[in-house]
Amino acid sequence: MAFVVIKGGILTTVQDAGRWGYQGRGVPVAGPMDPYAHRLGNALVGNDRHAATLEITLLGPELEFASERVVAITGGQFTVTLDAKPAPSNAAFVAAAGARLRFGPRLQGARAYLAIEGGIDVPRVLGSRSTHVISGLGGFAGRAVRAGDTVPLGPRLAARPSVAVPPDIVLPLPAREATVRILPGPQVDLFAADAVQTLQSAPYVIGPNSDRMGFRLSGPKLNHASGADIVSDATPLGALQVPASGQPILLMADRPTTGGYPKIATVITADLPVAAQLAPGDEILFACCSPHDALAALIAQERALLRLESA
């Protein structure tokens, strides 16, 4: 009950819902960059929402299945073949024993998720199978998978899932640029009075030194009211922290548990999947919204996924 990695891709890691509950001890959460696509893939193959998937970044892997499995590919779009025949996105399909699944050129988005019936069965570390590459924690030996690895799978499921997903459940992918909604805070008072307006005034470019920890952005400078240092405090997913340079950093899945730069705003939870599908060189534009709108957007996504999970 496993698959063999023929080619590893650029950064292909095992991720489940994340290592929650240990931030107070300095342990990062990790987990999927695009939690919506991760959960959608698991729903399509009949897994629990917390099951581990493969997160595939920019350049995907080639895999060979040791036993027949139902699989699904969600999130970013790649040219994917199963035994040299086109494989669908956002639909469950069967990979026979000995079948080879190959990810070719990226078409749109930055990260795809491969969900496999039964989930990826690497050992749990502090309750999670997620890979935190920087610390070498969790996943497959604490690192991205590479050629020659044999990755274990959980047992097959008794019931077969449906083979398709309603189109309205699939989130649209950004085409090299995206607008994401933000809520000001938690330290917006430590910035110049016009800083939030400046943040929304023009797109920021995602820098080449961006990674799963955070996106380093280049664009309009954000001025602090009195220095760029604070007593370190918690760093939520999607926070925009701003060092002395005035260029914000969008904190993502592998963010540290605390940080000493003030945070001017936070990307709303419903728009984190959009941000996660951007790559270095893409543009991101920020737009303030109300807490009511942020909650309504999240509720709409939750209802869509719950309909699929309970089908």
CATH number at 277 reads 2.40.100.10
Report whether pLDDT(35) > 80. yes
The answer to whether residues 156 and 239 belong to one domain is no
Contact 13, 145 (CB under 8 A): yes
Q: 91-149 pLDDT, tens per residue?
A: 999 999 999 999 999 999 999 999 999 999 999 999 999 999 999 999 999 999 999 99
The answer to whether residues 137 and 102 belong to one domain is yes
Contact 190, 226 (CB under 8 A): yes
Helix-helix angle 291-309:35-45, to 10 degrees: 20
The answer to whether residues 143 and 196 belong to one domain is no
The answer to whether residues 137 and 181 belong to one domain is no
Mean pLDDT throughout 226-249?
Answer: 96
Among the three residues 123, 147, 169, which one is the final residue of a domain in this structure? 169
Entry pTM: 0.96
Q: How confident is the model at residue 226 (pLDDT cuts 50, 70, 90)?
A: confident
Cα-based angle 140, 143, 144 (whole degrees, multiple of 5): 90
The answer to whether residues 210 and 112 belong to one domain is no
Alpha-helical segments (H) within 46-137? none
Q: Please state the domain count of the chain.
A: 2
Contact 178, 284 (CB under 8 A): yes
The answer to whether residues 143 and 182 belong to one domain is no
Report whether pLDDT(162) > 70. no
Q: How confident is the model at residue 247 (pLDDT cuts 50, 70, 90)?
A: very high
The answer to whether residues 209 and 116 belong to one domain is no
Among the three residues 135, 169, 203, which one is the final residue of a domain in this structure? 169
Q: Buried (b) or exposed (e) across 161-183, using 16+ Cβ within 10 A?
A: beeebeeebbbebbeeebebbbb
The answer to whether residues 202 and 262 belong to one domain is yes
Contacts of 119 (CB under 8 A, 6+ apart): 16, 42, 47, 48, 51, 52, 53, 153, 154
A 10 A CB-CB count for 125 gives 16
Among the three residues 149, 169, 189, which one is the final residue of a domain in this structure? 169
Residue 33's pLDDT is 98
The answer to whether residues 61 and 202 belong to one domain is no
Domain holding 73, by residue range, is: 2-169
Residue 194's pLDDT is 97
> For residues 138 and 132, what is the distance between their CA atoms, to the nearest angstrom?
6
Q: How confident is the model at residue 51 (pLDDT cuts 50, 70, 90)?
A: very high
The answer to whether residues 131 and 8 belong to one domain is yes
The answer to whether residues 220 and 288 belong to one domain is yes
Q: Buried (b) or exposed (e) across 270-280, using 16+ Cβ within 10 A?
A: bbbbbbbbbbe
Q: Is the dihedral of CA 73, 74, 80, 85 positive or negative?
A: positive
The answer to whether residues 7 and 154 belong to one domain is yes
Bridge partners (DSSP) of residue 290 are: none
DSSP state of 41: H
Residue 167's pLDDT is 76
Residue 25's pLDDT is 94
Mean pLDDT throughout 217-232?
Answer: 96
